[in-house]
A and B are shown apart, each in its own frame.
Chain A
Amino acid sequence: MPPSRESIQNRGDEDEVCPVCKSSRYLNPDMQFLINPECYHKMCESCVDRIFSSGPANCPVAGCHKTLRKNRFRKQTFEDINVEREVDIRRRVMQILNRREDEFDSKRAWDDFLEQREEIIANLVHGTDVAKTEADLQKYAQENTRSIRANQALDAQEASSFQERQTQEQELARLRRQAARQEYENERRELLAGREDVLSRLAAGRPADAAAIARDGQKVLLKKSSARRSEEDRIRQKQAALRGSDARRAGQFGLTTADKAGDAGDTGLIKGLRKIKTPEPEKPYDPFGGMVPDKRDYYTLRDFYPSSYLDPIRQDTRMQAGGYDLREYYSRTLLEAFAGLGCFIDEEVSQRDAANSMGITMPVATEGAALAAGSSGPAGNV
């Protein structure tokens, strides 16, 4: 006969009997039943203490030869031992196959992954192909330790940030409530004070002023309440802005960590994982785009060239004072001496012309003629 729901909750079933020592709750009301996720055989706390205190031992249930350890024993969460077992398996598998949706190329791949995970869980639960599934799972776990750990960290982070946000919101709500209460108190106090003031002035003043004094009191009250209302608005806006920025920061945080989580784990088990591109290490900055600044092919520059013509300049302070450096002259003259020595105009220009006439169908001659026509045309109009 299945025990009722209440009896599970308070473990108060009178008839419950430990399958190992046969002691019943009736005799021992404090009795607690424990299970071990190895074989899910139920036994009472005193049996666990008795059998497993001196190290691992076999399960005392007849026909079960699993070796159990004391530290793995825990309380049962669900009434149905099968559900308990499935939840355990699911938790373990989920911990290993903890890919996230943004790691997949497409929605389809993600769905396939989810299905595959369910299948593995079902296999383990129902005992079909257990050995192979386990082996696959272990292999995957070994190969992807890094990504598994990264995703675990991400999960933990998300959970904690969610928690944080919750507490923050609660705190804000509390503050708001408090402020509102304060507000209400103040208002009431002012109202009373104003009324008292009016009364005292009415008592002291002449009867003719009575109407004016009453009107004044009314006006003051109105003014105060409108000022208060605008103040409230201001505070509310500020809080809203604050909340918005908090949320944004949290969002950014989540995004950057998601970007960071990446590894080159590749496995046969899961298909359709997005290729993770590790950015190329940045090359040292090359300001000249591959050119060597002072590279020359025809000459090597010296710091000094003997020349009767240039030597006086070297000594001339008027030249030196202006910052003139004779090496500028050296490099310029030598560059001009060889710039274009290997340019063969008859070849290169005819090639260029051919290319031009193919592209624009405008050879040099007609271009020049057009220019001539253009330059003489407007002159005639002036």
Chain B
Amino acid sequence: MIEDDFYRSSSQFRFWSYTETSLRSLRATTNAIASERVQSALRKSRGAQRSATSSAAGTPAPNHTGSDADSKAGGEETEIECLTPEEEHQLVRYFCEQIIELGEMYKPPLPTIVRATAIQYLRRFYLTNSPMTYHPKSIMLCALFLATKTDNYYLSLRQFTEVIPGDTTSEDIIRPEYLVMQSLRFTFDIRHPFRGLEGAIMELQAIAQGIGQPAPHFPTQTPEDLKRKLHALHPSPTASSTTDRLARAHHNTREILKSAAQMTDAYFLYTPSQIWLSAFMLADRPLAEFYLDTKLGGPPADPQQQGNPLSELRTKLLRTLTGCSNLLQAYTPLASDPDQKKNLRRIRKKLFHCQNPEKADLAGQKRIPAAAAAAVAAAADPATSESEMERLAKKRKLEGKQPRDIFGGELVTQRTKE
């Protein structure tokens, strides 16, 4: 199918699609590495703290990062208890829900697609980073701001910051931006299921009005035929007319896509068209099956018959769709479940202890490319900065004389010079 090849070329399929096992092992590895770092860092800071206090008893508050962790842990030599992968996952999910809530606070509310993109950024980010290393509350804001930019929903940073509760400054929001982008492997394209759902509803409406187009593999279908079949579907208990039924199914599917599809691993495990179709199945199963049958043909008359690629695809697809539906259905919002809420509070408390102290200060540190970092370091040193600046200015002036060298000399001329 040619449409599938379109999707196979996307970065979402190439870099961000996982099987369940690979997803689990990836999270476990990330967690293991992070825990190790946290433990070594805590031990180091504790050692520094102790040596500092023993050597100079009267020195006032030498190292506040160390003292923080030390006082809470009671200075004992026990192993620090780190988050498990499941706890990390729970925490990330909580912050995904926070993104949705935060989006509501804007006037007008942020579009669903922006929020969904931000959620996916956050989820992708925490595949290779641990909440113990970078606290999600800062990353979440950055991801949301990044999403407004990548989804063409322009908000100035000031406008964006005003709405956020607490004393978060705009600097805090963009500080981890480079880090986030790097962890996203600079792939900002997220394929959402929303637009696909619109297309399907649009086509179903056309069928309902008797102007449906036959699918390419079934040129014998006629618009009247399709219309008749659609109206003859097993009637849904809630909706009276077909149009009403379509609108209802549309709305319910959208709701599922907004919540369950975002809060589960669906984006990693399934393709967007599979996601919307399974959500559609949850909303109105007969309608979804009818639509699928117009595309791939009905169930084969003879189940033993092999070789028809369409019906083979259909059975395989139905299996995948069922898996996806189950995943979506299993989702329950955190807020609605007091047990989960309690669990979450526990996790956050635990995280407070096992936050990597080396990154605690730096958690939001702006990630600067090596070259820029070197420049900053040079600028910080007053002795070298003067001459360095002069040299740079001179260089710039030289380059200014040859306007074609804005991006450096041409490779070819360099070679001929040799």
Residues of A within 8 A of B (CB): 291, 295-302, 304-307, 310, 330, 332-346, 348-350, 353, 363-366, 368-369, 371-373, 375-376, 378-380, 382
B320 within 8 A of partner (CB): yes
Inter-chain contact A298/B179, CB cutoff 8 Å? no
Inter-chain contact B29/A300, CB cutoff 8 Å? no
Contacts A306-B205, A346-B20, A365-B29 given; indicate if A339 touches B362 (C-beta within 8 A): no
B103 within 8 A of partner (CB): no
Inter-chain contact B196/A338, CB cutoff 8 Å? yes
- Total residue contacts A-B, CB cutoff 8 A: 195
Pick the 4 closest A-B CB pairs, nearest first.
A333-B199, A340-B7, A340-B271, A337-B196
Inter-chain contact B128/A382, CB cutoff 8 Å? no
> Which of B13, B20, B25, B30 sits near A343, CB closer than 8 Å?
B13
Contacts A296-B2, A305-B206, A349-B22 given; indicate if A343 touches B7 (C-beta within 8 A): yes
| Residues of chain A contacted by B273 (CB below 8 angstroms) | 336-341
Which residue on chain B has the smallest CB distance to residue A332?
Answer: B195
Inter-chain contact B2/A344, CB cutoff 8 Å? no
Which residue on chain B has the smallest CB distance to residue A300?
Answer: B213
Inter-chain contact B373/A345, CB cutoff 8 Å? no
User: How many residues from B make CB contacts under 8 Å with A?
Assistant: 70
| Residues of chain B contacted by A353 (CB below 8 angstroms) | 19, 22
Inter-chain contact B129/A375, CB cutoff 8 Å? yes
| Residues of chain A contacted by B216 (CB below 8 angstroms) | 295-300
Contacts A340-B3, A344-B320, A349-B22 given; indicate if A375 touches B182 (C-beta within 8 A): yes
B145 within 8 A of partner (CB): no
B198 within 8 A of partner (CB): yes
| Residues of chain A contacted by B130 (CB below 8 angstroms) | 372
> Which of B1, B37, B277, B359 sits near A297, CB closer than 8 Å?
B1
> Which of B3, B185, B313, B358 sits near A380, CB closer than 8 Å?
B358
Name which of A291, A339, A353 has the most chain B CB atoms within 10 A of its CB: A339
Inter-chain contact A301/B213, CB cutoff 8 Å? yes
In the assembled complex, how far is the CB of residue A206 from the closest CB belonging to chain B, in whole angstroms?
64
| Residues of chain A contacted by B39 (CB below 8 angstroms) | none
Which among B55-63, B364-372, B390-398 touches the partner chain? B364-372
B118 within 8 A of partner (CB): no
22 contacts between A and B (CB under 8 A): A300-B214, A330-B202, A332-B195, A337-B276, A338-B196, A341-B273, A341-B277, A343-B8, A343-B13, A345-B19, A350-B22, A365-B22, A365-B28, A366-B29, A375-B128, A375-B179, A376-B37, A376-B359, A382-B362, A382-B365, A382-B368, A382-B373
